[in-house]
Amino acid sequence: MRLQTGNKLLMIGDSITDCERARPVGEGLFGGIGKGYVMQVDALLGSVYPERNLRVVNMGTGGNRVRDLKARWQTDVLDLHPDWVSIMIGTNDVWRQFDSPLRVEEHVYLQEYEETLDHLVAKTLPEVEGIILMTPFYIEPNRHDAMRAKMDEYGEVVKATAERHGTLFKDTQLAFDKALQHYYPATLGWDRVHPSHVGHMIVARAFLETIEFRWSGDNL
User: What residues are annotated to the active site?
Assistant: 15, 191, 194
C-alpha–C-alpha distance, residues 214 and 220, integer Å:
8
Longest dimension (CA), the chain: 56
Residue length, the chain? 220
Which ranges constitute the DSSP H helices of the chain? Answer: 15-18, 37-48, 66-76, 91-99, 110-124, 146-165, 172-179, 185-188, 197-210
Centroid of chain to Cα 77:
14
Return all residues near 203 (Cβ < 8 A) that are at least 6 apart: 16, 36, 37, 88, 134, 172, 175, 195
* DSSP code, position 35: S
Query: If 0-12 CB within 10 Å is exposed, 13-18 middle and 19+ buried, where does residue 209 land?
Result: exposed
DSSP 140-152: -S-TTSHHHHHHH
Is omega for the bond preceding 24 within 30 degrees of 0, making it cis?
A: yes
Measured between its terminal Cα atoms, the distance across the chain in Å is 11
